[in-house]
Amino acid sequence: MSRSSKAYIAGVYEHPTRKAVDKTIPQLHAEVALGALQDAGLSKEDVDGYFCASDAPGLGGMSMAEYMGLDVVYTDTTETGGSSYVVHVGHAVNAIAMGKCSVALVTLAGRPRAEGVATLGSRDYGNALPDLGFELPYGPVITNQYGMAAMRHMYEYGTTSEQLAWIKVAASQHAQHNEHAVLRDVVTVEDVVNSPMISDPLHRLDCCVISDGGGALVIVSPEIAATLGDRCTKILGHGEAIKHLKSGQVDLTYTGAVKSGSIAFEEAGISPADIDYVSIYDSFTITVLETLEDLGFCEKGQGGKFVSDGNLISGVGKLPFNTDGGGLCNNHPSNRGGMTKVIEAVRQLRGEAHPKVQVPDCTLALAHGTGGSIATRMGSSTVILGRNDA
Amino acid sequence: MTQSNRTYPEPSINMETEAYWAAAKEGRFLLKKCNACGETHYYPRAICPYCLSSETEWYEASGTGTIYTYSVMRRGDTRYAIAYVTLDEGITMMTNIVDCDLDTLAIGQAVEVTFKPTEGGQALPVFRPV
Ligand SMILES: [Zn+2]
């Protein structure tokens, strides 16, 4: 069958660097832009829409448009943390469908590793924000926030550290085949649960890597896609949602994926059982577990059982995930993992993933981003993508 | 090392929240409820997030509740427990659990408010096991 698509992903590029000591952030944005345009078979002059988030230096997209010499008539700088670029895919589809642009460029880049920015420290976004007086003094860092979510999930559903560890094991099985991955060693469940405890119940190997680099996407109209060949990937559905602390009615056992996923599935007209491959944002193992439940791949609370025994390993389990090694092993550029989730899903649908992890006859894929924090405010976004003939 | 070594950063205080922090300095723990819809919300705002009414009012809360979840940070110089505590008033707030053996904490444990001085002399509401 051939499904209709209002826009296509024509080009993707993941920067090969993982430590960019000799490059500036604008330079990295330009390098990934060029890579994605070359991948699409387009040039800079074809771009009429530019999408970026706050990792792009300057005010909105203006500074980077100038740096790269882009001449654009549409821009969107929606900021939802690491999920921004998944949001941008959906917004680019809308803009293209409305005739506002026809070639949309999305870029992400950063160098937290070269700059020595650990994710351990609290992020001070400024005193103007209303919530921070009631959070920052208590020392919320990324790890202990996700730790609190994991702790509650374990309490309510009996989820275990060993079950969470299977998520890292699957990522490491995939990363061994990725020459660019930060961590290429295969690890076992025992390795994960015996790695140093960072913040209960999350161990070092439950946490993603810190890396430099970036990535870019080129999203085009169906008319342009028709001239570029069958490497163009269909965008079949998109959903996004903000979830927060709800005035004090706190529940850390689910994510914004409950909403973003159901919206995306409805738009695509398919269900989780139809999906051949998933890219799931993996800032921590618990992020993946809750997201898989929320997207409907298993019942709420059954995520631990679902991810166990290699069920996420390509060629072994029923739901191959993050075949590039994900943020847990491969890459988490600028501490923002949504971009690379979309890129690996496109590789799978083109049949261009590493042969050892390529999903046979991969027709329908899902990419999901989680931005902000699972324990306070998060922006969730889901896209459902299809092979050119899907 | 224990939490007793920990220094608490200064909270950011503004016009909407200065009463909360002034009361904390006097050892009183305030919450805010809405006189239009009756709901208590957290963090406290001038505008009720349930109905957007500006008829919000401070009141002195019980200061007791239970641990909804927690995580003990084991990296860095000082171990400390971040937590969400569900208060008897029905809201759940981010806080620290203090003055106890951090290895004995449990979800559901009863806790009560206490106050710790911050670096700049403000008093910060935190919780300890009852
Ligand atoms: Zn109200």
* Per-domain residue ranges of chain A: 8-115+212-232, 140-209+237-386
The dihedral over CA atoms of A165, A171, A172, A176, expressed in degrees to the nearest 10, equals 170
pLDDT for A121: 45
Query: CA angle, A116 as apex, A57 and A22 as ends, to 5°?
Result: 65
CB atoms B42 and A134 under 8 Å? yes
- The DSSP line for A160-195 is -HHHHHHHHHHHHHHHTT-TT-S------HHHHHHS
Count CB neighbours of B104 within 10 A: 8
- The DSSP line for A19-63 is --TT--HHHHHHHHHHHHHHHHT--GGG--EEE--TTSSSSTTHH
pLDDT for A122: 46
Same fold, A8-115+212-232 and A140-209+237-386: yes
pLDDT for B76: 85
CB atoms A248 and B41 under 8 Å? yes
pLDDT for B9: 92
C-alpha B46 to ligand 1 mean position (Å): 11
pLDDT for B77: 83
A145 touches chain B (CB under 8 A): yes
**CB crowding A319-351: b at 16 or more within 10 Å, else e:** bbbbbbbbbbbbbbbbbbbbbbbbbbbbbbbbe
pLDDT for A18: 96
Q: Which of A129, A137, A250 sits opposite B8 (nearest CB)?
A: A137
Which phi and psi angles does B93 have, rounded to 5°? -130, 150
Separation of alpha carbons A138 and A334, rounded Å: 25
Interval B17-55: pLDDT, tens: 999 999 999 999 999 999 999 999 999 999 999 999 999
Residue-level pLDDT, tens digit, chain A, 390 residues:
588 899 999 999 999 999 999 999 999 999 999 999 999 999 999 999 999 999 999 999 999 999 999 999 999 999 999 999 999 999 999 999 999 999 999 999 999 999 886 554 444 444 568 888 999 999 999 999 999 999 999 999 999 999 999 999 999 999 999 999 999 999 999 999 999 999 999 999 999 999 999 999 999 999 999 999 999 999 999 999 999 999 999 999 999 999 999 999 999 999 999 999 999 999 999 999 999 999 999 999 999 999 999 999 999 999 999 999 999 999 999 999 999 999 999 999 999 999 999 999 999 999 999 999 999 999 999 999 999 999
What are the structural domain ranges in chain B? Answer: 12-61, 62-130
CB atoms A152 and B90 under 8 Å? no
Interface-testing mutation among B50, B66, B94, B111, with chain A (most A C-beta atoms within 10 A): B94
Topology given in CATH for the domain delimited by B62-130? OB fold (Dihydrolipoamide Acetyltransferase, E2P) (2.40.50)
Write down the residue that tokens 């882009």 correspond to: A70
CB atoms A248 and B45 under 8 Å? no
- The DSSP line for A82-120 is BTHHHHHHHHHHHHHHTTS-SEEEEEEEE-TTTTT--SS
Residue-level pLDDT, tens digit, chain B, 130 residues:
445 578 999 999 888 999 999 999 999 999 999 999 999 999 999 999 999 999 999 999 999 999 999 999 999 889 999 999 999 999 999 999 999 999 999 999 999 999 999 999 999 999 999 9
The arrangement of secondary structure in A8-115+212-232, i.e. its CATH architecture, is: 3-Layer(aba) Sandwich (3.40)
Residue at A225: amino acid letter: A
CATH code for residues A140-209+237-386: 3.40.47.10
Of A365, A334, A337, A335, the C-alpha closest to A349 is A365
